[in-house]
Structure 1
């Protein structure tokens, strides 16, 4: 399956990787964002996605740029809690997602993939999870205004799918998205496992996240689905079982754990999408003089 896809937030970290992935696989891509894409060859439409009128225009046609959209990939958002006020984060993200779901549904775009969030699993896990590894069967447990908006986005998606049986709408609960340059900072928290306890020491390489988006886009999955998307390993040198025994000693472990196995279970994405992470920090050789030069984002 190929065609024309609109990518919102395509100028961001994950968005750039998604656009590269889709273009490499034959998709024609239009980026909709508040800032230009760094590659001038990527057509970009500047739009305020909290404005439903602008969203309708962006989904349907923008002069000579495009006339027909086959798929929507929605990545635009305030990317996490604590970056803006709670009300601003909540209203901006929820309104943007509602506008895009509405415009897509009323414009006949029946293939939608959007960035939900790992935060729905209970991040920052001040209250321990019910079991480990966590999976999609864990009840959503938003602990911030950001994750509350994501929870309501998933609720909206389920209702949009109920209203339109032809709609395929997929939420990807993406872990902390990192580029290869971010791996330079990993030494700074190896001596203190509590520094990355907040998301169970998980991450997703932006290239693997982009491939998950494409696989979800190309899969024939009617209705509403969610998938956890994470790398298969943790960000730590220490073994996963040691980390759990230290930080979550009372939490039941529901399966045998590999040496550095992720505690965000990706079995559903493996089985339904054919997703398997290919990139990761352990294979990257960082020069000693570049360690700790880049902050995590």
Structure 2
């Protein structure tokens, strides 16, 4: 199995998780990381045909996590081209080799609103895989096109691809710090639905993406079932998105993302959720 971006925030936890499950893991990383737990560690660039060809040798499954993960991670050109070329290179070579399954890190930003510089909000809550997109930045565009590449790979080579629209993913400590910040400024989370995911749950989702009995190219939102804001979700939406339609009501701190597909198709349920007291929201 190949894991790209293996030294990243999600990659390092995923590499360890899959190795502990007994998988033979090749870790491809742009920077050396002596702490990586893998059977084979390669330093290379996912944009390089030669580096990816070497890393795929003997692989039966692929987890593609390598990316520049923010619009400010480089120039617009660097962010966009690094992400789309890397994903195309990895999936196209995997498909040509006849690899049956790949998991790709997409992003909640694939629908465009979170990083949009304009004054926009989601078309509705809960967010779901069919929500209309409004893209105005190069990172979100790259993630949207990564999902297109996944569909092309399946149609051309028959490789089943699972793309995860990850929200903010981080360690338990970092997620709690973000929650502390939302006490004073909860408005910052409205475009993402105050969604988050522990890195351990991200690794678990990837495991399920590799093993679920499915075929085709699928995109899933995955997130914790609760928000990382210490307020009732309905109160947050009343305050910060009063004009946005709600397709249903939300109980307590329930995250306003429809997780039905991930739960029913993959059997995913986050195991590491924040236990936060609910405060009264004062605006």
Structure 1 length-normalised TM: 0.87
Question: Residue 120 of structure 1 contacts residue 141 of structure 1 at CA under 8 Å; is this kept in 2?
Answer: no
Per the alignment, in what secondary structure is the counterpart of residue 275 of structure 2? helix
Per the alignment, in what secondary structure is the counterpart of residue 89 of structure 1? helix
Q: Distance in 1 between matches of 2:193 and 2:64?
A: 26
- Partner of 1:157 in structure 2? 150
Runs of 5+ consecutive residues of structure 2 not aligned to the other structure: 277-283
2:8 to 9, 12, 18: 12
Per-residue deviation at 1:40?
A: 5.4
Q: Distance in 1 between matches of 2:225 and 2:14?
A: 20
Q: Distance in 2 between matches of 1:260 and 1:143?
A: 30
Per the alignment, in what secondary structure is the counterpart of residue 28 of structure 1? coil
Matched, 1:207 2:200: yes
Counterparts of 1:34-53 in structure 2, within 5 Å, are 34-39=30-35, 41-42=37-38, 43-53=40-50
Per the alignment, in what secondary structure is the counterpart of residue 31 of structure 1? strand
Matched, 1:180 2:172: yes
Runs of 5+ consecutive residues of structure 1 not aligned to the other structure: 61-67, 284-297
Counterparts of 1:1-297 in structure 2, within 5 Å, are 5-39=1-35, 41-42=37-38, 43-60=40-57, 68-124=58-114, 126-165=119-158, 167-182=159-174, 183-282=176-275
- Superimposed CA distance per residue, residues 180-225 of structure 1 (whole angstroms, 9 cap, x where no aligned partner): 1202343223122122234221111101111000001001221100
Q: Distance in 1 between matches of 2:142 and 2:206?
A: 21
Q: Distance in 1 between matches of 2:43 and 2:238?
A: 49
Q: Distance in 2 between matches of 1:69 and 1:169?
A: 15
When the two chains are superposed, the root-mean-square deviation of aligned CA atoms in Å is 1.7
Aligned length: 272
- Superimposed CA distance per residue, residues 225-258 of structure 1 (whole angstroms, 9 cap, x where no aligned partner): 0000111111111100000011110111111211
Q: Distance in 1 between matches of 2:11 and 2:25?
A: 11
Per the alignment, in what secondary structure is the counterpart of residue 25 of structure 2? strand
Question: Residue 8 of structure 1 contacts residue 75 of structure 1 at CA under 8 Å; is this kept in 2?
Answer: yes
Q: Distance in 2 between matches of 1:40 and 1:129?
A: 38
Structure 2 length-normalised TM: 0.91
